[in-house]
Amino acid sequence: MGEVQSPVGSVDRALLILQEIGRHSRGATLDELSTRLGLPKSSLHRLLSALKHRGFAAQPEPSGPYYLGTEMLATAFRFYETMDLRTLVRPLLTRLSEEFTETVHMAMLDGAEVVYLDKVEAVRSITMTSVIGGRNLAHCTGVGKALLAWTYPADEAIKAWAERYGPLASRTRNTITSPARLATNLAQIRERGYALDLEENEPGVRCVSAPVFMGKSAPVAAVSVTALKDRMSQARMEECGDFLRRAVAEHL
């Protein structure tokens, strides 16, 4: 039931019930829930009755399996439709900026480009083309490649994207302009869990980026740490990438 004691035990048990039901697409019976959660059937039944009353759990047939209720789904969808990404992600950006003392960004994908939704400037700031509300090409930015890697996870899909929006423009001598090479690079990004911009968008500037999924299969945004090449060695990029993956998982 968890090592840390919940402040309100009954609420915690109700949430655990919803989590467990959510793991069973064909529903979960009272016996199954009791066994998996270690709860007495009498207590479990009372909690399930309360969840059913509010529409967060459903039992279509008497004595049948339990499912997530329509109110549970409606609440989740209402949240995703109205959520303010900047408000949710801003604490993470602040943490990243403090951890690395570098400029951090949040961006979303829009066709062939990324749109910057938020930015926290470092004390030792550097001049970059990124501004809140501004755009950059997706295929040569860290945030763009983090978004592309999971939005188009198959080689055929990213090649179709490149054909639609191509030809891929070159911003620096390091920019990847071949759809085949881009597909290979994105596969490497998915394998390690974060993207790198190795002076592909601006000379002398490197970037490490990770996707933000918010419970969806494709990322809704990406966050990045950007620094001058002299401050972003290979070892530093690996350290930053691992930290980014963990921080995004913890916060979002």
Mean pLDDT for all residues in the chain: 90
Indicate whether 4 pLDDT > 60: no
Q: In this predicted structure, what is the pLDDT of residue 124?
A: 67
Chain segment 21-34, per-residue pLDDT in tens: 999 989 999 999 99
Chain segment 104-156, per-residue pLDDT in tens: 999 999 999 999 999 998 776 666 667 888 999 999 999 999 999 999 999 99
Indicate whether 5 pLDDT > 90: no
Of 218, 153, 155, the residue nearest 183 (C-alpha): 155
Chain segment 80-97, per-residue pLDDT in tens: 666 678 888 999 999 999
Question: Count of CB atoms within 10 A of residue 243's CB?
Answer: 18
Report the predicted TM-score, pTM, of the whole model to 2 decimal places: 0.71
How many alpha carbons fall within 13 Å on the CB side of residue 43? 12
Question: Could you tell me the pLDDT band of residue 1, with boundaries at 50, 70 and 90?
Answer: very low
Question: Could you tell me the pLDDT band of residue 65, with boundaries at 50, 70 and 90?
Answer: very high
Chain segment 170-224, per-residue pLDDT in tens: 999 999 999 999 999 999 999 999 999 999 999 999 999 999 998 788 999 999 9
Residue corresponding to tokens 């066709």? 111
- Distance between CA 247 and CA 219 in Å, rounded? 15
Residue 215 or 64, more confident: 64
- Mark residue 134 as left, alpha or beta (left: phi above 0; alpha: psi -120 to 50; beta: remaining): beta
Q: In this predicted structure, what is the pLDDT of residue 122?
A: 78
Q: In this predicted structure, what is the pLDDT of residue 212?
A: 95
